[in-house]
Amino acid sequence: MTILISYDIADDRLRLRTANKMLEYGFIRLQLSVFAGSVSDTRWKALLRWMQKEVVPRFVPDDKLLYLPLSSGQAANFSFLPAPPDDWNALVDPPNTLFV
C-alpha cells in the first residue's frame, strides 16, 4: 500500500519526531513535511496507531496531518519540478526479481 502523508505541525520537536518516524518506516521525503511510502497493511496500521497516540494528542489548534492511500496508477502519475527524489522510481516501480 502506497501512502502520501502531509502535515503542518508547529512544535519543532514533534515535527522532527514525526519526520524521523516516517523515515524509520521507509517513507521518502517529497517536501519538508510531505512523505510517501509503500508499507504493508500491518505496518501502516502500526504507524497510524503511533500517530494517533503520540502525535495528534500534542497538536495545537492549527496543526493538521493528512494521509492519503494511493493506487499504483495515482503514484505513477505524480509530477515533480525540477525532478523527482532519487528513490521515487523504486517506490512506484519496485524491482520484480525472483531468486530461486
Q: Which helix (H) or strand (E) holds 6?
A: strand 2-8
Q: All domains of the chain, ordered by start, with CATH?
A: 2-76 (3.30.70.240)
Find out whether 15 and 67 touch, Cβ atoms under 8 Å: no
Partners of 8 in the β-ladder? 64
Query: Quick check: helix, strand or coil at residue 14?
Result: helix
pLDDT confidence bin for 94, thresholds 50/70/90: low
Pick the most confident of 48-57, 72-81, 87-96: 48-57
The C-alpha cell at 89 is 522510481
Query: pLDDT tens digits for 6-64?
Result: 999 999 999 999 999 999 999 999 999 999 999 999 999 999 999 999 999 999 999 99
| pTM confidence score | 0.83
User: Does residue 5 have a pLDDT over 90?
Assistant: yes
